[in-house]
Amino acid sequence: MTIAPYATRTPPGIATLVMAASVGPLAMNVFLPSLPGMARYFSADYAVVQLAVSLYLAATALLQLLIGPASDRFGRRPVLLACFGIFLVATLAAIYAPTIEALLVCRIFQGFSAAGMVLARAVVRDTVETAEAASKIGYITMGMSVGPRVGPVIGGLLDEIYGWQSGFVLTLVFGLAAYAIVHIDLGETNHDRTSSFSEQFRSYPELLGSRRFWGYTLTATFASGAFFAFLGGGPYVATEMLKLSPSQYGMYFGIISVGYMLGNFLSGRYSRSIGLNRMMLAGNVIACSGLALAMFLLLAGYLHALALFGPVFFVGAGNGMTLPNANAGIVSVRPHLAGSASGLGGALTIGGGAALSVLAGALLSPESGPMPLLLVMFIPLAAAGLTTLYVIYVARIAGEI
């Protein structure tokens, strides 16, 4: 029997999973500073160019519904490599896109980068037990959160020096590196494959009929939805109400990123000993407390950047604790359907979060002040706390705690 030249038989290192999971967030964020330049280059309306964001999110959500089941049927390794291959071709084509329409098509196919996060979670669940899965997912999320933080900064600098295509060149180089590392280090971890692809879609009713799956998925959806809402409304509040420059907004936004990374670290450090559900609940409480403080300061008349971004630090920290544990719960409800669960849960989470992002932007106006944004963030976070309590109740009924 021939021995494969690469480590195709062994589980990957955590650095490999971080690299794979970071491709999608980098592709999402690195080109954002280039949107005005792209509008000028293609002589297109800014609203049309912004579709490069919304279409990418929509493609990411829908493709997760296919990627997860495909990996349960054909294996994590071949599906991840195939998806990254499509992503790389689409990224290369985007660099030479002759029209905005062609670029938007490329962005849709760049959505195959979602395989990195979907299958990183599934690989973790293939190789470790539930409590340890939350810990590893926390570390993976902490590592991949670096990309969204530094991506726009690097992308903005590259755009000023080389033009809008340079952000896609950086994404292509990073994607090639991720493909190579996955090819070398990712061994197949799905050793219990299903017999047919259609069988995986027939498994969705099994997942949708699970109360714990819905509990974990709704917790992830509401918690991440608050962050998506901030992405949708935060720039408007920062520029129109707080009169911050783009660089100042980037600096203050870093406060949230640091909070999120801190929460991820705490998840990685303590989820195994404390447990998924308790860590989720603690994260919910911390995030809601931060929003409550922000609303109190606003009602007290403190309209200042620190009065907004300072308390939202705790939203980042709370979500950093909640989301890795919720995602670990999603893929642990039916371990033999980890890929399908990761894909379906991810699609629902991104879809719900994107809707809240649109809502936050629609409710804000110069007369409204920041309060609508804070409310659109607080209500989902409170709902995440309720769904976490529901998961704890279901687990107690089942005798698991």
Please report the pLDDT score of residue 124 as a whole number: 85
Q: Encode the chain (401 residues) as per-residue pLDDT tens digits.
A: 333 444 455 678 888 998 999 898 888 878 777 777 788 899 888 668 778 877 888 888 888 888 888 888 888 899 999 999 999 999 999 999 999 999 999 999 999 999 998 888 888 878 877 667 777 777 787 777 676 666 766 777 787 788 889 889 999 999 999 999 999 998 888 777 766 666 656 667 777 778 888 999 999 999 988 887 887 677 777 777 888 776 676 677 778 878 888 998 888 888 888 888 999 999 999 999 999 999 999 999 888 888 888 998 999 999 989 988 898 888 777 776 767 777 788 888 887 877 787 777 678 777 788 899 899 999 999 999 999 999 999 888 875 55
Nearest CA-CA partner of 35 in 100, 92, 83? 100
10-189 and 203-401 share one CATH topology? yes
From residue 358, alpha-carbon distances to 232, 257, 341, 364 in Å are: 6, 21, 26, 11
The CATH architecture annotation of domain 10-189 reads Up-down Bundle (1.20)
Q: Euclidean distance between the first and final Cα of the chain, in Å?
A: 47
Question: Residue 119 has which token pair?
Answer: 């299958």
What is the per-residue burial (b if ≥16 Cβ within 10 Å, else e) of 229-242?
Answer: bbbbbbbbbbeebb
Question: Residue 30 has which token pair?
Answer: 């690195």
DSSP codes joined into one string, 345-384 = HHHHHHHHHHHHHHHHHHH--TTT-SHHHHHHHHHHHHHH
Count the Cβ atoms, other than its own, within 10 Å of residue 248.
Answer: 14
Question: Residue 380 has which token pair?
Answer: 């989902």
Please report the pLDDT score of residue 90 as a whole number: 97
- Contact indicator for 90, 109 with CB cutoff of 8 Å: yes
- Contact indicator for 42, 103 with CB cutoff of 8 Å: yes
Please report the pLDDT score of residue 194 as a whole number: 66
Q: Which residue has the tokens 């792209």?
A: 38
Please report the pLDDT score of residue 3 as a whole number: 36
Check: CATH 1.20.1250.20 for 203-401?
yes
CB proximity list for 363: less than 8 A, separation 6 or greater: 233, 372, 373, 376
What is the per-residue burial (b if ≥16 Cβ within 10 Å, else e) of 124-148?
Answer: bbbebebbebbbbbbbbbbbbbebb
Please report the pLDDT score of residue 4 as a whole number: 42
Please report the pLDDT score of residue 285 as a whole number: 96
Please report the pLDDT score of residue 368 as a whole number: 80
Between CA 68 and CA 118 the distance in angstroms is 7
Break the chain into its structural domains and give their ranges: 10-189, 203-401
